[in-house]
Amino acid sequence: MGRPGHRRGAPARRNELHVTDLHAGAEPSVRDRDRFRDTLPAHCTRFAQAWARTCSQPQLAQTIHQLRDVSGTADRRALMAPFRATAERLGYDGGW
């Protein structure tokens, strides 16, 4: 996660993914493997289309780039408020 060439520790990756029970191992977690195998494929096309649409909007793409480097909650909220307002104005379901 993060910028190419920028290494972040496992705790940061776990927090960023909202998965707090990740552990190093040789095999995938059965629960996570099944979740990814059974749930994600049905949504991947829609997810990819949403990201492509989002990134094609310069004002949204710029904020996404800025969010990569924000770690504080207050700073993230300050960026997300106008991001959500712009996304809603552009017709995204739920504001984004």
Query: In which domain, by residue range, is 2 found?
Result: 1-41
Identify whether residues 48 and 84 lie together within a single domain: yes
- How many folded domains does the chain comprise? 2
Across all residues in the chain, what is the average pLDDT? 77
Identify whether residues 53 and 87 lie together within a single domain: yes
Residues 6+ away with beta carbon under 8 Å from 90? 57, 60
Identify whether residues 34 and 50 lie together within a single domain: no
Dist CA 65 CA 94 (whole Å): 21
Identify whether residues 52 and 14 lie together within a single domain: no
Say what the pLDDT of residue 17 is: 59
- What are the structure tokens assigned to 18, written together? 């909202």
The values of phi and psi at residue 28, to 5°, are -70, 155
- Say yes or no to pLDDT of 57 above 60: yes
- What would the pLDDT profile of 26-48 be if each residue is shown by its tens digit? 887 887 788 888 888 888 888 88
Q: What is the mean pLDDT of residues 44-60?
A: 87
Q: What is the mean pLDDT of residues 2-30?
A: 61
Identify whether residues 37 and 49 lie together within a single domain: no
Dist CA 26 CA 70 (whole Å): 32
